[in-house]
A and B are shown apart, each in its own frame.
Chain A
Amino acid sequence: MSTGDVTDVGRDTLVRPITSFSRRYIAALVFALGLIGVWLFFYIQQLEHGLIVTNLSDWGSGGGVPWGTYIGSFIWWVGIAHGGIILSAAVRLIGLDTYQPVARMAELLTIAALSCAGLFILIHVGRPDRLVTSVLPAWPTRVQWSPLMWDVTVITAYFVLTATYLLLTIRYDIHRLRDRLPDAFEPVYGLLMVGYSEREDQIVERMVWWIAFAIIIMAPLLLHGGVIPWLFALLPSMAGWAGGVQGPSFLSIALTSAVAGIIIIAAAFRYAYGWEELIPDQIFRGLSKWLGFFSLMFLWLQLQQVMTGIFAAPTTLQHATEVKISTPVYWVAIGLVGVALAYIFAAALKPSLFSIRAMVGLSVAVLVGTLIEKTLFVVEGLQHAHFALYDGVPGPYVPSPVELSAIVGTIGIVVLFFLAVSKVIPVVELHAIQDDHEEVDA
């Protein structure tokens, strides 16, 4: 795939988010804080009155749904977190230099999205104050048997690997851009640069290559295609959850939503800082093709589940699948992803149809679709279990305002995270504009 050459872009352009300050930035800041404020308003009510304000306490609502939008959103954010670092790792491992200008944004998206995923676990437990004091003492024994503990372990490892990756790669950039960075953050830079010397560059590049290697094996195959789906797929009592297809299915949804997230973030920075040269159209065209490919995988794996669930399936699986395909909002989710796929296909046939604005809109649609699908997966899996223990619990499951506000709040947190980080470190790697970057091969 050809790409626009960005090596002529100057260092001043690279640090533009750090050195510039605009009304638009303040507006974005107020917007993000407003979203977080909406969530805090509702969350304080939950802390004061308990999970009853969400209808998720005890046996939950709608025939027994103690897991709802909170857990659907947890899976969704972990999924978004995946593509980021995987894209960045791919840049290093297999030389996908085309995407170097968006690699660090993708890494930052991973850190922000993983934090939001963790937040959903915290706010979903009835007594968040007991989370750490329950999990850590129980960990040595429960990690032997509990998929929840596997999850906690691997997500911690993933977060730490991603942050280590970022902290090691940022040293090269800060050293070379120090004269353009604000003195106010000198203590931060001093901490980040402990023990730095130019002689370390080649060694650290090699270390980062190995982190990328570890991440690209662990994250897709063993985290979002492993311990996250195993939270559900290992439970034979839930017909809609059980089965090995959940691994690849979860992974396809994760990669689809992650690429959509990167498109939105990259387009936002390009628009805000006039980075047409730094993040050229070709990057968005390339990302849109990846989005199309992953969307196709997503739809294909949905087809697999529907076919095996309705043709001659065990009774409860057949029932769960019939409910799934007769739920209108499921088809909204599939339709949103399908529309994005159709547009990407059309733009591949006729390149003049492609527009970044349309891709951003469709990326939002894809994210809405994947969030709906994951929440439905959680809710319907619980509602249509093999046993009918919760059938007496009245009412359908409807996401409460408290739950919905948490989605809004976490989006605000991600926006705030990018606004804050972009004022301290370059969100585009210096390597992206250097043509003398030495590749370190394995």
Chain B
Amino acid sequence: MTTMTAQTTQVYAVFIKATPEQVWEAITTPDFTEKYFFGSRVTVTPAAYRGLNGEGADLVVGEVFEHDPPRRLAHSWRALYDPATAAEDASRVTWELEPQDGGVTKLTVVHDRLEGAPATAESVAGGWSYVLSGLKTLLETGQPLVG
């Protein structure tokens, strides 16, 4: 997505035919995340959020503020994959998982506090849609998106 000035609060939502437990596992387990999150292996503890590339180098690091499986996860976000984003202030990512009727979970990702991170805001503006579309496809079909 090409935006002149990327938004400092970005909200993304997707309905996934899966339980909150399954969605939680898919966003916190490295074997899952590498299939839809630009290949990054994400680990989440009650203290830290980390996304590593295949060689084990940090792509994204964050401090976990809220860890309430399978309902809510909030952490800071520093993108180290690019020198421009790595030099910026940390932003914040909040994952909200809400069970709906019919075995569906509404997943909302809010990426905010981006005021001190314009390059990060620009970088993630197109990325989150791709990631969440891939996550939904993976959970509903068992297959990662191709291409």
Answer yes or no: are A and B bound together in one complex: no
